[in-house]
Amino acid sequence: MKRAVLFRFSMILFVALAVSSAISYYFMGNKLLADNETNLLNIVRMIDYSLDGTGPLSGNVSKEVSGNIQEKCTAIKGRLKDTKARITVISVDGTVLADTEAESYEGMENHLERQEIQAALSGKPGYATRYSETTHENMLYVAALSADGSYIVRAATVYKGLEDYFLSIMPMLLLGIAAAYAIATIVSFRFADTITKPLMEISAELQKIHTNTWDFQFKQYRYDELNIISEATMRLAQEVQEHISRLEFEKKVRQEFFSNASHELKTPITAIRGYAELLDNGFVSDEETRGKFIKRILKATENMTQLIEDILMISRLETKEAEVTFSRLHLAPLMDEIFDAVEPIAAEYKVTLHQECEPVVMEASVKQIRELLMNLIVNGIKYNHPGGNVWVKIGASGHNAVIRVKDDGMGIGEEDQARVFERFYRVDKGRSKKMGGTGLGLSIVKHIVEFYDGYMQLKSRLNQGSEFIISLPLQRAEEKG
């Protein structure tokens, strides 16, 4: 990364230097040309002044006059510091009257077509830069019409633009570039450090993941962006940790459930096997005992079936995958039907059933609501005394159906009240088993209530009785399809 920063920095520096050099080269070149042009124009004006009185030089100029001009021009040139300066005098028809460089001005071609001469003829000073066939060098020409308008004076000098300057300032320029690069390197290294160092620290801290450690410690950094990264990472780590512990907890619950479930299934299977072996051995000869054993086998099978059904019910409710058929459910007729079904059990336990149902209609699955009511009512009967009562009251309150199942039976001690909804939890294991309980009834009730987004309350006092109050929405929430 450091190298990348350095490379970028150098690139930027290079581009900046190139662009600024090109711009300065262009403007300085222009300025230099303008200055040279002005200087040459001044010389042209001076020559014109010194030739004053020679003219008029238009038309046919005698050799003598021309020779005079040539002499004057050579003399002026001799006084100029610029040894390569060239002075030319041209008549307005383009005939060269004098020239300090040509071997013989007489043989020189007509200069009328020269760019600077054309411009001078129009009255303004004319400028041109071009390669001269006469001096074999790049020249700057400045020409101007004489004061009396009869001839043109042209001065020229070798002109290479900035080239000469450039060569002379080259060492300084290179030194400057080297210095700029050195400074840029130091600055970019320092700058890269301010970013790479924190990033390296952060990534070193992140290595903790490999040892499954999530307590990251990050420093406060100069750049907010880096602090955002470290804070976001910390938050993420926290969430991951929470997620992991939730998964671990769920795993534990599931393991417990499986071990409990297999344990519960083992009991009826052992019973079935025991009675089946006894019958198989042929030790039981009398019909009455055989019938008793067969009944016990059937009872154990029944228990197993109930247990498996309850387990399936819970797992479906938990995954919310239950294939639920919803309908407009009239709770009063359903209660009548349930009472008919549990009446024999109530009679067996000598418990009286009472019901008080308002005509409540809710949108629900008959199967689930029947299961819920059955579990609560049968519990009220089972965990009761002979002569006890179970009251079922159904009504509506606001948008909810309210179901109350109350008994005056054994009641549940305070310490057990929260736990009775756990799977396989029984207060009195022996009694529950004797009565065919699976320990899953209240857990199923709780799951059904949660499935409908309802809520539940348990009021109970040991040896006085219990009351389960359940509130379920009359209409299902939209998302549950």
Binding site for ligand ADP (CB under 6 A): 375, 379-380, 383, 407, 409-412, 420, 425-428, 432, 437-443, 466
CB of 456 to ligand ADP, least distance (A): 13
CA angle 114, 117, 118 (to 5 degrees): 85
The nearer residue to ligand ADP, 279 or 462, going by C-beta atoms, is 462
The nearer residue to ligand ADP, 19 or 418, going by C-beta atoms, is 418
Nearest-10 crossing angle of helices 163-206, 224-281: 30
Q: Please say whether the beta carbons of 123 and 142 come within 8 A.
A: no
Phi, psi angle pair for 161, to nearest 5°: 70, -140
The nearer residue to ligand ADP, 126 or 437, going by C-beta atoms, is 437
Reduced to 3 states, what is the DSSP secondary structure of residue 462? Answer: coil
CB of 228 to ligand ADP, least distance (A): 50
CB of 437 to ligand ADP, least distance (A): 3
E strands within 325-444?
Answer: 327-330, 352-357, 361-364, 389-397, 400-407
CB of 219 to ligand ADP, least distance (A): 54
The nearer residue to ligand ADP, 48 or 407, going by C-beta atoms, is 407
143 Cβ neighbours under 8 A, 6+ residues apart: 44, 90, 114, 116, 117, 119, 120, 125, 126, 152, 153, 154, 155
The nearer residue to ligand ADP, 268 or 380, going by C-beta atoms, is 380
375 Cβ neighbours under 8 A, 6+ residues apart: 441, 442, 444, 445
For the chain, the helix, strand and coil percentages under 3-state DSSP, each to the nearest 5: 55, 15, 25
Q: Please say whether the beta carbons of 67 and 106 come within 8 A.
A: no
Q: Please say whether the beta carbons of 135 and 167 come within 8 A.
A: no
The nearer residue to ligand ADP, 198 or 439, going by C-beta atoms, is 439
Instruction: Please tell me the distance from the alpha carbon of residue 204 to that of residue 193, in angstroms, as a whole number.
Output: 16
The nearer residue to ligand ADP, 105 or 383, going by C-beta atoms, is 383
Q: Please say whether the beta carbons of 299 and 291 come within 8 A.
A: no
CB of 439 to ligand ADP, least distance (A): 4
CB of 461 to ligand ADP, least distance (A): 10
CB of 449 to ligand ADP, least distance (A): 13
The nearer residue to ligand ADP, 198 or 437, going by C-beta atoms, is 437
CB of 342 to ligand ADP, least distance (A): 13
